[in-house]
Amino acid sequence: MAIRNILSGDDPTLKKKSRVVTDFNKRLHILLDDMRETLLDANGLGLAAPQVGVLRRAVLIVDLSIDTEIPEEQIIELVNPVIVECAGEQTGSEGCLSIPGVYGMVPRPEFVKVRAFDRRGEELELSCSDLAARAVCHEIDHLNGVVFTSLTDRFLTAEELENMREEREATAEAEVAEAEAESSGAQATEAESSGAE
């Protein structure tokens, strides 16, 4: 596996439509493995083949709803993905590994169902909502030569980004404190019940 160069937002490759994958061979597997390594290294939520200079319909998304301590296990590979159903609407902030430091508010469906293939050519269906739905739509847009900056309602200021970062940190700290409190409560209950025996 190798970390590939992520193309920047002004690269003309990002404006081109990707071709359908027809050969589920070793070459595809190397591409997907390299994309996985690149995505983990960049700490992103998704990556499309065009972003590493390959005009093929293959994307990776990170599904944070998958409960695991190993980030790699949250990565889902989608080859020739097609959105077959969507519902609801959400508007949230988006960024892109090809356009670092730029974020904008983009409307997306709240829920999407995607039909795709895995690396072996086996058909699969994926239903996702919230952030994962946003990531799927964002990466499929890349396959069609669309970058999020062309869809944004407005770009976020440095102050707004800092406020969002502080809110995320505060939420994360509160969740950790809550988990620790629950753990302490469970241990106290366990100690009381073992003392009662």
- Radius of gyration (Cα) for the chain, nearest Å? 20
**What is the secondary structure of the chain as a DSSP string?**
--PPPPPPTT-GGGGSPPBPP---SHHHHHHHHHHHHHHHHHT-SEEEGGGGT--BSEEEEE-TTS--S-GGGGEEEEEEEEEEEEE--EEEEEEETTEEEEEEEEEE-SEEEEEEE-TTS-EEEEEEEHHHHHHHHHHHHHHTT--GGGT-SEEPPHHHHHHHHHHHHHHHHHHHHHHHHHHHHHHHHHHHHHHH-
pLDDT computed for residue 14 by the predictor? 97
Report strand pairing: 154-155 vs 99-108: antiparallel
What is the reported pLDDT for 15? 96
Taking the chain (197 residues) in runs of 10, the rounded mean pLDDT of each run is 93 97 97 97 96 98 90 95 98 94 95 98 96 96 97 91 85 84 70 55
pLDDT of residue 191: 55
CATH class of 12-153: alpha beta
pLDDT at 181: 85
Q: What is the pLDDT of residue 74?
A: 94
Predicted pLDDT at 65: 87
pLDDT value, residue 190: 61
pLDDT of residue 182: 83
Query: Given this model, what pLDDT does residue 187 score?
Result: 64
Segment 128-141, tens digit of pLDDT: 999 999 999 999 99
139 is catalytic: yes
Task: Give the per-residue pLDDT at 153.
Answer: 85
Please tell me the pTM assigned to this model.
0.84
Select which of 72, 89, 139, 175 is catalytic.
139
